[in-house]
Amino acid sequence: MKEIKIRKIHRILGVALSIFLGLQAITGLYLSVRNWNNISKKEKVSIPVEHVHAEHDALSPVFESLIGVVHRGGGWYGLAYRMVVGLGIIGLSFSGLVIFFQSRSRLKNH
Q: Judge whether 107 and 8 are in contact, CB under 8 Å.
A: no
Tens digits of residue pLDDT in 45-102:
444 444 444 444 556 777 777 887 877 787 888 888 888 888 889 988 889 888 888 8
**CB 39 within 8 Å of CB 54:** no
pTM over 0.85: no
Read off the pLDDT of each residue in 20-24 and give the average, rounded to a whole number: 86
